Structure 1
Amino acid sequence: MITRALGGHGLSVSAIGLGCMGMSQDYGPADDTESVEVVRRAIDLGVTLIDTSMSYGAGHNEELVGRAIAGRRDEVVLATKFGIWRENRGDPPSLNARPENIRGFCEASLARLGTDHIDLYYLHRVDPQVPVEDSVGAMAELVEEGKVRYLGLSECGTDDLERAASTAPISAVQYEWSLFWRELEDDVVPLARKLGIGIVGFSPLGRGFLTGKLSVDALGEDDDRLPDQRFHGEHLATNTARLEQLKELAAARGVTPGQLALAWLLAQGEDVVAIPGTRSRERLAENASAADVSLSADDLREIEETVPRSAWSGERFSYAVHRTTRA
């Protein structure tokens, strides 16, 4: 597994990480025992960046990850988040990034994860009731205390990102980014590069759509993808046609469409890392091997011509998002 630097402060992670949210919420029921084995197998494959959050399953996901990395803590770069808060598993999310609460959030995450430090601590969403400088200032105190090593933000606007970076060193920003959703390329990507901040793409497989194996009709009523416009009606018809074109491009290169999508994202820059989520060891191996797929300039040109940003249809569903409308 190749590694990449995020930011200019010493943080190095695997180019392909593992997003663990779906093991605890939003994508239907999961088996905890199998999820633990997926995390452990990821480490075996050289995946170092393990991504979780205090909000995923109201702490369940951090406990799960803590079980999985027990005895192997020094092999992983552990990333977790605060700011989106759930009191109980299944509750709707709320925002809370008040500085007086952040140390408590961090210490609770440390306990659930079974560790004495968090490698990458994200502000999951900016709390509109709290100046971002106040939240990031409290995060910086955790770095000084040794509880946290590096700082990040997720799905923030560009103004908040600039203000955060002027408050404390920021190593990473996390946004939804894939062939299926490219809105951050307009403003976030240029700004992050100007500020020297690495970019972590979540849902790099288009919430499973770009694998070519997602059955939208089979999604359960509690699946978080159901409110997403991209999976309905004319939007779905358009996107399915584009997916068939992506499959053809992948087949011509001897890879799966998911691997091609991940390789495309990694090819957007050496400062880019992908964190696909999966609950399958088979899919995990497929995702990890995408780091070995090399795309030429001609490959990237053909992908852009065949399935450009403008070819996909529909708005994504997300709460408290960086942007809610398509440019």
Structure 2
Amino acid sequence: MTTTRTLGRSGIEVSAIGMGCWAIGGPLWGDGGQPFGWGEVDDDESIRTIHRALDLGVTLFDTASNYGAGHSERVLGRALAGRRSAAVIATKFGNVSDEATRRWLGTDASPAAAVRSLEDSLRRLDTDHVDLYQLHINELPAPAALDLIDTLEGLVDQGKIRAYGWSTDDPASADAFAAAGRSCAAIQHDESVLNDNAAVLDVCDRHDLASLNRGPLAMGLLTGSTRSLGADDVRGRAPEWLRWYTDGRPTPEWAARVEQVRAALTSDGRTLAQGALGWLLARSPRTVPIPGLRTVAQAEENLTTLEQGPLPADAYAEVERFLKDLRP
């Protein structure tokens, strides 16, 4: 069974499932006390989780400069000490935060900010290069993103990054960026059994890019958990874009859709989360889901999908039958 995939035209080989590192960043606060993190976190458990992920075959670790105002990068750097060569590190730039106060300060998409943010990320990660460097402003106008291409190519030439990409859900923007960037290797976008972005996947096909899937478990909704979430968790006070949760609990209409597909996703003995990740592996040979992992137990459950492989064709077809008229 194939347990690796390629980061598009970069040729960089990665595990077919990566580890998302937003959740291990801990708290981050925006205006009005809006949480942008996943609550308090145990750094020692985070490091054990990263080590377990490595042992289970994961090589791709996706973080960002503003996850916990840099805390995620620092924890990842600690965990990879002595094992850096076993990992492909993807990080992001464009959101600005204060490391001391853990406050989000806004965005900066200037070329100078991209260079400055990379230097800060390299320091926190304790490494001399980042494998995939991604623009982290989803709705940035395409012309502003294109202004970054020369700078990003220069960072590739200097050996400070191996490839770059954009975390955006807009297919037109992704298309323009991929067409202009020689070393563009991936588009990161929201993709799950509940939210299939076929247009961005088409861009990835046309430009030979990897599709990194953030939100592959719909921020935890596709794990089946119904627990109430705290005020320091982004899901506990969900911003407008986070439709999966309302008042700290699963939004009823979306929870109902999960129940509609539960039987198909778990028909071959998988857990609900394993079925959702298997659906993504079956969706396209370019998809690389990056579920957030905070505990060893989560790593062991989710990463078992590497051994299970894509969802079987009959189960995949059953999921499509249920959801084809329900997706936004």
Q: Which TM-score band (shorter chain)?
A: 0.7 to 0.9
SS in 2 for 1:240: helix
Matched, 1:17 2:33: no
Q: Which residue of 2 aligns with 1:193?
A: 205
Task: Indicate how the Cα distance of structure 1 residues 58 and 309 shifts in structure 2: closer, same or farther if over 3 A, else same.
Answer: farther
Give the TM-score taking structure 2 as reference length. 0.88
Q: Which residue of 1 aligns with 2:245?
A: 231
SS in 2 for 1:201: strand
CA contact (8 A) 1:208 1:214 kept: no
Task: Indicate how the Cα distance of structure 1 residues 103 and 247 shifts in structure 2: closer, same or farther if over 3 A, else same.
Answer: same
| Aligned residue-pair number | 308
Where do 5+ consecutive residues of structure 2 fail to align?
Answer: 27-36
Q: Which residue of 1 aligns with 2:311?
A: 295
CA contact (8 A) 1:58 1:87 kept: yes
Q: Which residue of 1 aligns with 2:192?
A: 178
Superimposed CA distance per residue, residues 259-281 of structure 1 (whole angstroms, 9 cap, x where no aligned partner): 00000011111111000001111
**Structure 2: distance between partners of 1:193 and 1:121:** 20
CA contact (8 A) 2:265 2:272 kept: yes
Task: Indicate how the Cα distance of structure 1 residues 192 and 93 shifts in structure 2: closer, same or farther if over 3 A, else same.
Answer: farther
Matched, 1:70 2:74: no
Instruction: Give the % identical residues.
Output: 36
Whichever residue aligns with residue 7 of structure 2, its letter is L
**Structure 1: distance between partners of 2:259 and 2:142:** 44
SS in 1 for 2:6: strand
Q: Which residue of 2 aligns with 1:315?
A: none
SS in 1 for 2:283: coil
CA contact (8 A) 1:97 1:130 kept: no
CA contact (8 A) 2:221 2:250 kept: no
Q: Which residue of 1 aligns with 2:231?
A: 221
Task: Indicate how the Cα distance of structure 1 residues 17 and 93 shifts in structure 2: closer, same or farther if over 3 A, else same.
Answer: farther
**Structure 2: distance between partners of 1:55 and 1:23:** 12
Offset at 1:309? 4.9
Matched, 1:84 2:95: yes
Superimposed CA distance per residue, residues 216-273 of structure 1 (whole angstroms, 9 cap, x where no aligned partner): xx20012112323332399822222222233323443211010000000111111110
Task: Indicate how the Cα distance of structure 1 residues 131 and 240 shifts in structure 2: closer, same or farther if over 3 A, else same.
Answer: closer
**Structure 2: distance between partners of 1:137 and 1:159:** 20
Offset at 1:53? 0.7
Where do 5+ consecutive residues of structure 1 fail to align?
Answer: 313-325
Q: Which residue of 2 aligns with 1:318?
A: none
Structure 1 stretches of at least 4 aligned residues deviating more than 6 Å after TM superposition: none
Whichever residue aligns with residue 60 of structure 2, its letter is L
Whichever residue aligns with residue 119 of structure 1, its letter is D
**Structure 2: distance between partners of 1:45 and 1:235:** 30
Q: Which residue of 2 aligns with 1:147?
A: 160
Whichever residue aligns with residue 269 of structure 1, its letter is S
Q: Which residue of 2 aligns with 1:321?
A: none
Offset at 1:179? 1.2
Q: Which residue of 2 aligns with 1:110?
A: 122
CA contact (8 A) 1:212 1:247 kept: no
What's the RMSD between the two structures over aligned residues?
A: 2.1
Matched, 1:99 2:111: yes
